[in-house]
Amino acid sequence: MKQFLTFFLLATTIFTAGAQDCVVEQESLKGVYAGDCVKGKADGKGKATGVDMYEGEFKKGLPDGTGTYTWKNKDEYTGSFKKGLKDGKGKIHYAEARAGVTTEQAGYWKKDKYIGEYEKQYEIKATTTKVGRINCRLSNKDGKNLSFNVAKLGEGVGAVGEVVIISGRFYNRNTQNMTNLSITRFTDVTFPFRAIFNFTNGENAEIVFYQQGDYDIEVQLL
């Protein structure tokens, strides 16, 4: 019995020392840690409780991967982390509603900052061979318009022709043609808006606009 008690106390001491040696780098989480440890730092799956609490994946002592972070005021975020910061897809639940935000907010974060419901503002899905370049710029997040500036190298004018809508809609369109340049404006667009834009030179591009706004799109046709 005495030998068993000695062994139990020794094992407990070793376990406690190991737990104490496993460092959590984030100040708000320093306190009690239980979980995987690599080279003296929280690494793998674990749970850290300090001023705040986090349970999930760690790397080099910081939340990294997927997990749930709970602040002392009971706000809670579940999603992706990178180097201790919210980064990637996730959802945050606020204990109390805030100005302009409901009790829940889902979407994407980058270096702890909320970037929106979608990871990208837009995405060019496909283009045919003689579409040389497409540049998109979000100029006003409160707007709902698309403005295509289409330039054609060489002779002739390239312009937006038929539009095959995959999702969303627009209220109206108008086109202004100039020498080697045309401007086509789509107004009152419903987002997300995805369409195949056919050009008058027989080429096309499929583009999806995730985030609402006014976009300036420059298209160069070869």
119-176 pLDDT per residue, tens: 899 999 999 999 989 999 999 989 999 999 999 876 666 899 999 999 999 999 999 9
> Looking at this protein, which amino acid is placed at residue 27?
E
Q: What is the DSSP string of 190-219?
A: EEEEEEEEEETTS-EEEEEE-S-SEEEEEE
The Cα angle at residue 60 between residues 58 and 63, in degrees rounded to 5: 30
Domain ranges of the chain: 21-116, 122-221
**Nearest by Cα to 107 from 78, 64, 137, 65:** 78
Q: What six digits make up the tokens of 175?
A: 């086109």
21-116 CATH fold: 2.20.110
pLDDT at position 28, please? 97
Q: What six digits make up the tokens of 6?
A: 């000695």
pLDDT at position 17, please? 37
**What is the pTM (predicted TM-score) of this model?**
0.66
